[in-house]
């Protein structure tokens, strides 16, 4: 969590100008009552524009909120 908090703003340098890339990730624990799976959600913004987003049911069953957050953070950063 310290890494995510410390890297919430990332800057890309292109042609001498700064372009800000912002990543936001979230999940919940076992919101699917039948399958006991959580929801993964993440969004990527370039400057103030949304360039990518996802919101879907996780493919695996996790055992805690912490594990659900870890799964979504890993998925978001892998692409």
pLDDT tens readout for residues 4-53: 566 566 665 566 667 787 888 888 777 777 777 888 888 888 888 888 88
With a cut of 70, say whether residue 58 has pLDDT above it: yes
What is the tally of structural domains in the chain? Answer: 1
pTM for this entry: 0.56
CB burial readout 20-50, b (16+ within 10 A) else e: eeebebebbbbeeeeeebbbbbbbbeeeeee
List the domain range (segments joined by +) for residue 21.
2-78
With a cut of 80, say whether residue 79 has pLDDT above it: no
């Amino acid at each position: 969590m310290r890494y995510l908090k410390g890297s919430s703003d990332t800057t890309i340098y292109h042609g001498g100008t700064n372009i800000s890339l912002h990543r936001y990730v979230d999940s919940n624990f076992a919101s699917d009552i039948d399958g006991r799976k959580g929801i993964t959600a993440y969004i990527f913004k370039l400057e103030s524009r949304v360039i990518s987003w996802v919101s879907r049911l996780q493919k695996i069953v996790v055992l805690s909120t912490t594990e659900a957050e870890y799964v979504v953070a890993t998925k978001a950063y892998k692409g």
